Amino acid sequence: MTRPTPKTFLVKSFGCQMNVYDGERMREMLGAEGMTPAEPGADADLVVLNTCHIREKAVDRIYSDIGRLLKRSDGERPMIAVAGCVAQAEGSEIQRRVKEVDIVVGPQAYHNLPDLVAQVAKGGHALDTDMPLLSKFDTLPRRARRQGPSAFLTVQEGCDKFCTYCVVPYTRGAEISRPWAAIVEEARALVEGGAKEITLLGQNVNAWTGEDETGNMRGLDGLIRALDRLPGLERIRYTTSHPNDMTEGLIQAHGDVETLMPFLHLPVQSGSDAILKAMNRSHSVDSYRRLIDRVRIVRPDIAVSGDFIVGFPGESDADFEATLQVVRDVDYALAYSFKYSPRPGTPAAGMESQIPLALMDERLQALQALLNEQQHDFNLRSLGRRTSLLLERTGKLPGQLIGKSPWLQSIHVIAEGAAIGDMIEVEIVSAGPNSLGGAMLEMAAA
Ligand code: SAM
Ligand code: SF4
């Protein structure tokens, strides 16, 4: 049965920043096809759920979201596309489970979304979970001309590390680096569109390598140094990094590249060498600590961030205590911590000594209490500091704007005469656990 071609769309992204980036590219692509974004709160003709498979909870949310879409008050249902890592991992099983899902499209195939929509409009279902090398980026349209002040740019995808708990190597495929020229071109387009800050993204972003315009092999530090010269680009960030790919060159860049922000997200996952070994992380707690020390020598004010998993199979009280100890030693400005979630098909899911949920809950609470305290302390130490602030959105109070400090802290400010996209100077006058209050000093020189 044929169906009308959708005129309006909604793309909803779950999970990591790379999904946020993919979601933006899908919106730009559907826009280029003549579709328009649905008004906030209005029903869309096409709904794309750009999914995350990293933990079980993330997957469950997708099925409850689909359930809601099927209960629309007007009795109609939109064309439904499941994209992202759940699409890649579950493929046609999704359509077997919920026949109303019209399209299943993997993270390396979403450039085909308009064709898949056209196919469904002619009648039937569509599925594309191919992993062609890089063709997605080759065929996506140039970045939209209007950008927010802070933009994401995927430079690297996939993972060859195979941590025993993680689905990414299966859902995103092998590690690949986008070519230098394509990245520089996209960064230029983003800046022309209004971006002042670019966050370079990759599952292991610091594994990025490629030839520069003279044919020399460069690492992520070389790319950052090239982007540093891009007129109008004022801030560069990158995430997520793996400790094993933290090169001396990248560490040095934190010391001398002015636009590289003093923030490093470097997950350790556990403070126990035995657990790191079982996780196949291939770094030790000590090598991780030494990395942090080296970065702090070149950039003493750097804000360090991390990821932690509690309750990995076999984690003893002593292993967990070792995690608390590495947290105390490193002193994090911000961190993400998760209960271990067994993922189908990963080696850890079949390991003995799975940890009971109640114990995981207890450990997560203790870890988060410590991390929250450190985050609050980091914020309190910012009191009185004068810093730049890139304004990104409006706040709840009249005249209030919100942006980020170089250390990725949210700062609220009443900024008369300033607008979203401006870089202003502020003094930090208040500090809470999750955000700071600033007083505007002046507009920063461009
Ligand atoms: N490549 C990055 C690294 O090696 O640190 C991480 C990318 S992963 C998408 C983001 C985070 O999700 C991981 O750092 C880990 O803490 C968490 N994660 C991954 N698999 C998980 C699982 N099965 N259960 C709980 N957390 C998990
Ligand atoms: Fe997952 Fe490990 Fe790869 Fe990070 S390095 S994406 S945690 S397999």
pLDDT at 166 over 60: yes
Q: Which residue has the tokens 């208040």?
A: 430
Atom 2 of ligand 2, nearest CA residue = 163
343 CB within 6 A, ligand 1: yes
334 CB within 6 A, ligand 1: no
pLDDT mean over 85-108: 92
**Measured in whole angstroms, how far is the alpha carbon of residue 348 from the centre of its chain?**
24
Among 17, 166, 203, say which to mutate for ligand 1: greatest number of ligand atoms within 8 Å of CB.
166
pLDDT mean over 164-193: 94
55 CB within 6 A, ligand 1: yes
Of all ligands present, the nearest one to the C-alpha of 349 is 1
**Is residue 93 classed exposed, middle or buried when 0-12, 13-18 and 19+ CB atoms within 10 A define those classes?**
exposed
pLDDT at 9 over 80: yes
Where are the strands (E) in 159-219, listed by range? 176-177, 197-201, 209-211, 217-219
The pLDDT of residue 58:
78
Of all ligands present, the nearest one to the C-alpha of 175 is 2
Q: Which atom of ligand 1 is nearest to the CA of 167?
A: 20
Instruction: Pick the closest to residue 120 from 137, 139, 95 (CA basis).
Output: 95
Instruction: Pick the closest to residue 168 from 203, 207, 137 (CA basis).
Output: 203
* Amino acid identity at 25: R
Instruction: Pick the closest to residue 270 from 221, 207, 313 (CA basis).
Output: 313
The pLDDT of residue 444:
57
pLDDT mean over 2-16: 92
**CA–centroid distance, residue 340 to ligand 1 (Å):** 9
Among 19, 52, 54, 162, say which to mutate for ligand 2: greatest number of ligand atoms within 8 Å of CB.
162
Rounded to an integer, what distance in angstroms lies between the CA atom of residue 284 and that of residue 290?
A: 10
Contacts of 96 (CB under 8 A, 6+ apart): none
**CA–centroid distance, residue 245 to ligand 2 (Å):** 12
Q: Pairing state of beta strands 263-265 and 303-310?
A: parallel
Atom 25 of ligand 1, nearest CA residue = 340
Among 88, 160, 161, 201, say which to mutate for ligand 2: greatest number of ligand atoms within 8 Å of CB.
161
Please provide the distance, in angstroms rounded to a whole number, between the alpha carbons at the two ends of the chain. Answer: 57
CB 2 within 8 Å of CB 29:
no
pLDDT at 372 over 70: yes
388 vs 42, more confident:
388
**CA–centroid distance, residue 163 to ligand 2 (Å):** 5
Q: What angle do CA 222, 209, 240 make, to 5 degrees?
A: 90
Number of neighbours of residue 130 by Cβ within 10 angstroms: 13
Rounded to an integer, what distance in angstroms lies between the CA atom of residue 265 and that of residue 269?
A: 12
The pLDDT tens digits for 203-248 are 999 999 999 999 999 999 999 999 999 999 999 999 999 999 999 9
Q: Per mean pLDDT, which range of 117-131, 212-226, 245-259 is the poorest? A: 117-131
Helix ranges (H only) for 217-256 are 220-228, 248-256
3 pLDDT band, cuts 50/70/90, is confident
Rounded to an integer, what distance in angstroms lies between the CA atom of residue 277 and that of residue 255?
A: 32
Rounded to an integer, what distance in angstroms lies between the CA atom of residue 264 and that of residue 253?
A: 12
What residues pair up with 10 in beta bridges, in sequence order?
47
* Amino acid identity at 408: L
Taking the CA atoms of the chain, what radius of gyration do you get in angstroms? 22
CB < 8 Å & 24+ apart, contacts of 181-190: 181/213, 182/137, 183/153, 183/155, 183/210, 183/223, 184/226, 184/227, 184/230, 186/143, 186/153, 187/153, 187/227, 187/230, 187/233, 188/230, 189/142, 189/143, 190/143, 190/147, 190/151, 190/153
**CA–centroid distance, residue 203 to ligand 1 (Å):** 10
Instruction: Pick the closest to residue 235 from 205, 183, 198 (CA basis).
Output: 198
Number of neighbours of residue 419 by Cβ within 10 angstroms: 11
Of all ligands present, the nearest one to the C-alpha of 360 is 1
Among 160, 203, 336, say which to mutate for ligand 2: greatest number of ligand atoms within 8 Å of CB.
203
Q: Which atom of ligand 1 is nearest to the CA of 161?
A: 4
Complete DSSP assignment for 163-177: -TT--HHHHT-S-EE
The pLDDT of residue 137:
82
| Cβ < 6 A, ligand 2 pocket | 159, 161-163, 166, 168-169, 203-204, 242
